[in-house]
């Protein structure tokens, strides 16, 4: 989602860097329209159960904060489950690249959930 928002130049709506315009501003309606569009993108990309948790938010920033609080945390249990999955993946197909792809997908998810710290 961040790639889409960056590409559409709307990332500021979820990061909080593009704040709501003053009530007297001529840009207020433009801000409201763009915020509604970003909210729509966020909500339409969610599963039904997740949508209900953000039903009463008023801004796309509020949705983003809610999602970060609920899903942005390190998930050790999920990382352990994925690491276990890596050990059980078998090369069932004669094509080695399919096997490599399966492994890479799982490792990528592990990195997203529990990133390796940078060593400097």
Q: Which has more pLDDT, 117 or 51?
A: 51
Q: Span 57-83, mean pLDDT?
A: 80
pLDDT band at 79 (very low <50, low <70, confident <90, very high): confident
Give me the residue spans of the domains in the chain: 2-71, 76-113
pTM of the shown model? 0.61
Instruction: Give the integer Cα–Cα distance in Å for 96 and 106.
Output: 16
**How far from 47 is each of 52, 73, 90, CA to CA, in Å?**
9, 19, 30
Averaged pLDDT for residues 13-40: 89
């Amino acid at each position: 989602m961040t790639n889409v928002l960056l590409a559409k130049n709307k990332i500021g709506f979820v990061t909080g860097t593009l704040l709501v315009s003053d009530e007297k501003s001529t840009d207020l309606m433009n801000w409201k329209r763009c915020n509604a569009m970003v909210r729509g993108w966020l909500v339409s990309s969610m599963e039904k159960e997740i949508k209900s948790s953000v039903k009463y938010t008023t801004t796309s920033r509020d949705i983003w904060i809610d999602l970060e609080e609920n899903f942005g945390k390190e998930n050790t249990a999920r990382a352990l489950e994925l690491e276990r999955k890596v050990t059980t993946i078998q090369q069932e197909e004669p094509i080695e690249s399919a096997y490599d792809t399966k492994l890479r997908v799982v490792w990528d998810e592990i990195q997203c959930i529990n990133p390796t710290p940078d060593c400097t």
